[in-house]
Amino acid sequence: MGVDLEQINPRNQAALRAWWEVGRAATAHRPGNPWPAWEQTRVTLPADDPEGAVTVLAAIDGREMVGAGLLVRPLRDNLHTATVDAYVRPDRTREGIGRRLVEELEVVAAGDGRRTLHAEVFLAPGATGTGPEAFAAATGYGVASRESIRELAVDDYRSRHDRLVEEAAPAAAYDVVTFDTVCPDVHVESFGRLLGTLLDEIPLGDLDLQASAWSPERVRAAEQRQVGIGRHVLTALAIAPDGSVAGSSDVRVNETDTAHGQVGITLVDPAHRGHRLGLALKVATHDLALATYPGLRTVETSNAEVNAHMNAVNDALGYRTIETLLELQKVL
Ligand SMILES: CC(C)(COP(=O)(O)OP(=O)(O)OC[C@H]1O[C@@H](n2cnc3c(N)ncnc32)[C@H](O)[C@@H]1OP(=O)(O)O)[C@@H](O)C(=O)NCCC(=O)NCCS
């Protein structure tokens, strides 16, 4: 009896649940919070996303799901790319299921003109020669960037808080505005302008990704998607004396799991660097997250290992490295 590959409709809850179980089993050995709650996946994958189209792939043996794949094709920028994920149930690895999932997702990607594929593998910090690395090499994916996954215990943050506020004092010439997901009208255009510079500003290693414009309409559509799936993007903006948005940062908390948060985007306009805005914005978002969700226990972030400034800010907050993330790329 062979293993069959089938695309599943994410609105088919029984199939999606089996798919989610495979991913959970394949990530269960990892530290931190590597796999979303079922209630989150159940809502997120079927929901329309103006930023990306998903293909959900299952490897099925008889009546059992043994492998899970996901392809995400960006719809607003980087139309030459797609992101590939593959998970195999731990009792069914080394049978070629992972390779078949990746190859099938590549066919779907190529059929839509996507020739640059991205993927990720996670390792214990500093580990080399692991199974996922061997799998990446065997399927033709090269390492384009190295990142660290870091986790903050909020108790640690609380104990440093007053010192952090003092250190952020040079940022006092800027107003800090905070909001949950939906940006105030007065700032949305300037916020979009800053977001449009993101991919030019963050270290990307060899990843072939291009910056793109964020019109107010695009910002609003992305916000509505987050509202629709119950993801609270707790955001802080630094407003310069001339009223423009000089920097932004956010912490995301899903309604289905308010004990864990993830840092999203942090970005300070180059013209406004050197005033401790990165630190001030992170303190503002972490304070907002703690005030909104008193049961919050940890926050995760990932940054390129070469991103010295962001890593220094995260060190100050109390973040500790829990995994190494390899950003992979393959050109078809
Ligand atoms: C990585 C993963 C998807 C591999 O799935 P799999 O079905 O075992 O992979 P395959 O059997 O198709 O392996 C293809 C080739 O990859 C290499 N490989 C895969 N796992 C390996 C391991 N643990 N050690 C060494 N080589 C490995 C081998 O060259 C293998 O070919 P071979 O068995 O003929 O030697 C699976 O272990 C998994 O789900 N891990 C957790 C999630 C993850 O890291 N996903 C990868 C990023 S998207």
Question: What ranges in 127-263 are assigned the alpha helix state H?
Answer: 131-138, 154-167, 185-195, 198-201, 216-228
Q: Going by CA atoms, what residue is nearest to atom 28 of ligand 1?
A: 135
Segments of 62-128 assigned E as strands? 64-74, 81-88, 116-123
pLDDT of 181 above 90: yes
318 lines ligand 1 (CB under 6 A): no
Q: Take residue 29 and report the two structure tokens written for it.
A: 């050995």
- DSSP state letters, 305-331: TT-HHHHHHHHHHT-EEEEEEEEEEEE
Q: Please give the average per-residue pLDDT across 280-294, as a whole number.
A: 98
135 lines ligand 1 (CB under 6 A): yes
Q: Which atom of ligand 1 is nearest to the CA of 86?
A: 48
Q: How far is the CA of 132 from the centre of ligand 1 (A)?
A: 6
Element (H, E) at 14: helix 13-27
- Substitution candidate for ligand 1 out of 20, 57, 61, 94 with most atoms within 8 A of CB: 94
Q: What are phi and psi of 142, to 5 degrees?
A: -105, 160
3-state SS, residue 8: strand
Q: How far is the CA of 14 from the centre of ligand 1 (A)?
A: 26
95 lines ligand 1 (CB under 6 A): yes
Which domains, and CATH codes, for the chain? 3-114 (3.40.630.30), 153-320 (3.40.630.30)
Q: How far is the CA of 131 from the centre of ligand 1 (A)?
A: 6
pLDDT, position 126: 87
pLDDT, mean over the chain: 97
Q: Please give the average per-residue pLDDT across 223-252, as a whole number.
A: 98
pLDDT of 1 above 90: no
Model confidence pLDDT, tens digit, residues 53-95: 999 999 999 999 999 999 999 999 999 999 999 999 999 999 9
* Total-model pTM: 0.95
- Substitution candidate for ligand 1 out of 92, 135, 327, 329 with most atoms within 8 A of CB: 135
Task: Give the residue among 39, 106, 123 at the shortest CA–CA distance from 70.
Answer: 106
pLDDT, position 241: 97
Model confidence pLDDT, tens digit, residues 109-163: 999 999 999 999 999 998 999 999 999 999 999 999 999 999 999 999 999 999 9
pLDDT of 33 above 90: yes
Q: How far is the CA of 134 from the centre of ligand 1 (A)?
A: 7
